Structure 1
């Protein structure tokens, strides 16, 4: 089955990529969740617009990615949020919260879809968060979650 990815799917591709997958995977997982659409000649125009939008917001070169990773390495990011007794948060920290905290700390604008939170952040303290800047470059942010 030939599909066009609308969102990034790890291990498969980026938005705008045309991929060939097994029928069941495409029909039962990718299409119902809005991660992909069926490929047609008319949908090729949508592929072009997705790729154009991705190019506008993406870190284009490896040197840019390394420069942004250097900026993130020396950055102290603190996120103040509501917490109860014992340091448990009301809810959890999202990728959008982290992107905003990096911006507030004087760091670069990050796309929230590039921030990888492996385990939900639900407690006060220092946490490590990975950011995929480029297929070859990844950075780690040391995030200090404090009670407000």
Structure 2
């Protein structure tokens, strides 16, 4: 049975592909889950329009993220932490601490977007990369100062 995919299906195809599948797979899984439809002219046009709408939304989102990245590039946050007289922290500064400091500055950043190689364990200034999306990255200055 030939079907037109409305969503990406692993091991089968991407949105807009017309693929040949077993009729039971189409009737029992693809069609009830709204993953595919019959490939007629109206459905082809509708799926193409959905694909164009998704691409437009993705492009707008990417532009928004690039704007956020340009604002982040000039950002600097200060984190206070307890340290000994040599400047070694009694704990460490990790992704969640940096994300919380960025949220306090007005950025909507989650800890999973902070690309810290290892937790910070000393007092100093660090350049920390923030990955907003595939190919959209900015570096933030993080100052770790004694509390």
- Which TM bucket (shorter chain)? 0.5 to 0.7
Alignment RMSD: 2.2
Equivalent position of 2:5 in the other structure: none
* Misfit runs of 4+, over 4 Å: none
Q: TM-score under structure 1 normalisation? A: 0.57
For 1:23-34, what aligned pairs fall within 5 Å after superposition? Answer: none
Alignment correspondent of 2:22: none
Instruction: Give the aligned length.
Output: 93
Q: How does 1:1-148 map to 2 (within 5 A)?
A: 61-104=61-104, 106-148=105-147
SS of alignment partner, residue 109 of structure 1: coil
Shift of 1:74: 1.9
Residue 122 of structure 1, CA deviation: 0.4
- Structure 2: distance between partners of 1:95 and 1:87: 20
Structure 2 stretches lacking a partner, 5+ long: 1-8, 12-28, 34-59
Scaled by the length of structure 2, the TM-score of the pair is 0.57
Whether the 8 Å contact between 1:62 and 1:136 is mirrored in structure 2 is no
Give unmatched runs, 5+ long, in structure 1: 1-16, 20-40, 46-59
